[in-house]
Chains A and B, each alone.
Chain A
Amino acid sequence: MVENFDAIIIFHIFGFGINATIFSTWIVMAILLILAKLATKDLSNSIDGKVSRLQIAMEAIVKGINDQIREASGTNPMIFMPMIGTFFLFIGVSNLLSIIPWFMPPTASLSTTVSYAMCVAIAMPYYGIKHVGIVRYLKKYIEPTPIMLPFNIIGDIASIFSLAVRLYGNVLSGCVIGTILLSLAPYLIPLPLQILGLLTGTIQAYIFSMLAIMYISSIGLEEENKLIR
Chain B
Amino acid sequence: MDNIGLVGAASVLAAGLAIGIGGIGSGVGEGHAANAALKAIAQQPDEAGNITKTLFVCMAMIESTAIYAFVITMIILFANPFWDHVINLAGK
Contacts and interface: CB of A to CB of B under 8 A. Distances in A.
Interface of A: 1-2, 4, 162, 165-166, 168-170, 172-173, 176, 200, 203-204, 206-207, 210
Interface of B: 56-57, 60-61, 63-64, 67-68, 70-71, 74, 77-79
A203 B60 contact: yes
A4 B79 CA distance: 10
B79 A169 contact: no
Contact of A1 (B57, B60, B67, B78): B78
A118 B89 CA distance: 36
Given A168-B71, A172-B71, A2 B78 contact: yes
A176 B57 contact: no
23 contacts: A1-B78, A4-B78, A4-B79, A162-B68, A165-B64, A165-B67, A165-B71, A169-B67, A169-B68, A169-B71, A170-B60, A170-B63, A170-B67, A172-B71, A172-B74, A200-B60, A203-B56, A203-B57, A203-B60, A206-B57, A207-B57, A207-B60, A207-B61
A78 to B, nearest CB: 24
Contacts of B70: 169, 172-173
Nearest to B56: A203
B79 A204 contact: no
A172 B71 CA distance: 9
Contacts of B68: 162, 165, 169
A228 B62 CA distance: 35
Contacts of A168: 71
Given A162-B64, A165-B67, A2 B77 contact: yes
B79 A166 contact: no
Contacts of B78: 1-2, 4
Contacts of A204: 60
A2 B79 contact: yes
A196 to B, nearest CB: 12
Specify which of B63, B68, B77 lies most central, judged by the most chain A CB atoms within 10 Å of its CB: B63
Contacts of A207: 57, 60-61
Contact of B74 (A2, A170, A206): A2
B74 A210 contact: no
A168 B68 CA distance: 10
